[in-house]
A and B are shown apart, each in its own frame.
Chain A
Amino acid sequence: GAVVSQHPSRVICKSGTSVKIECRSLDFQATTMFWYRQFPKQSLMLMATSNEGSKATYEQGVEKDKFLINHASLTLSTLTVTSAHPEDSSFYICSAERSSGHVSYNEQFFGPGTRLTVL
C-alpha cells in the first residue's frame, strides 16, 4: 500500500508554454500533498503544501502565480508551471501524506518524480 504516482514522468516543452504535472495517491486518501523541486546533486526543496479544498501554502521565494497548485480531491493534486523558462528545468517530486492521527506519525509517500526540460 501507500503508492503515489506522478504523470508525466518526463516532459520537454518550449519556453513560454505551461506544463501540468499530476500527483495521485493510488490506495489512500491524502488531505495534504507536498511539491518539491530537486536540482542535480542537491537536496529536495519544499515548494508548497497542497491542502484538499483550500489554497496551497507556498514556501518563501516560490512564486504562487508561477507555480499553480490545485488539490481538487483527496487523491489528486496538480502543479502547473506557467510560462515556463529554461531556469524552471528541474526534477519535480510530489508526496502525499497518509494520516495516522497525529502529525508525528503521519508519513509522506513520494511519487517517482517528473523531469521537466524547458527549451
Chain B
Amino acid sequence: KQEVTQIPAALSVPEGENLVLNCSFTDSAIYNLQWFRQDPGKGLTSLLLIQSSQREQTSGRLNASLDKSSGRSTLYIAASQPGDSATYLCASKGEGSGGSNYKLTFGKGTLLTVNP
C-alpha cells in the first residue's frame, strides 16, 4: 500500500525567500507524481505533473523534481509571495485497489504561509 509523506507539515517564511517542500513515497512503482495547491475550503489546483520517466518539471517560479528510485519529490518555490500562501499537496499515481485500475495517493500537505 502506497504511503505519501510530506515534510514539513507547516512552513512560515518571509516574502522573497526561496523554499523547498518535500514529498516522499514508499512504493516507487508510480505512473507519475503531481503537486497541487489547495486554498482554504477550496478544491485543488494542479501545479506540476512529473512523469515517472522525467526528473523535473518547471512552471514559472515553481520547479518540481522526482527521484523515483529513492521515493522522493521536491517542490521548489522561488521568490515567494504572500499569494503563494496555501496548502501544497503531492500525490503519486499508481496501481489501484478495490477494483480501480489506478489511483492518486495524497500526502497530508504542507501549509505554507508567506509573510509580507
Contact = CB atoms under 8 A, between A and B. Distances in A.
Contact of B43 (A45, A57, A113): A113
Contacts of B46: 107-110
Instruction: Kindly state the interface size class of chain B when it binds its partner.
Output: 20 to 34
A57 B41 contact: no
A28 B44 CA distance: 18
B32 interface: yes
Interface of B: 4, 31-32, 34, 36, 41-46, 49, 51-52, 89, 91, 93, 96-109
30 contacts: A6-B43, A34-B103, A41-B108, A42-B108, A43-B107, A43-B108, A43-B109, A44-B89, A44-B104, A44-B106, A45-B106, A48-B100, A49-B101, A58-B98, A59-B97, A60-B98, A91-B41, A93-B43, A103-B101, A103-B102, A104-B52, A107-B46, A107-B49, A108-B34, A108-B104, A110-B43, A110-B46, A111-B43, A113-B41, A113-B42
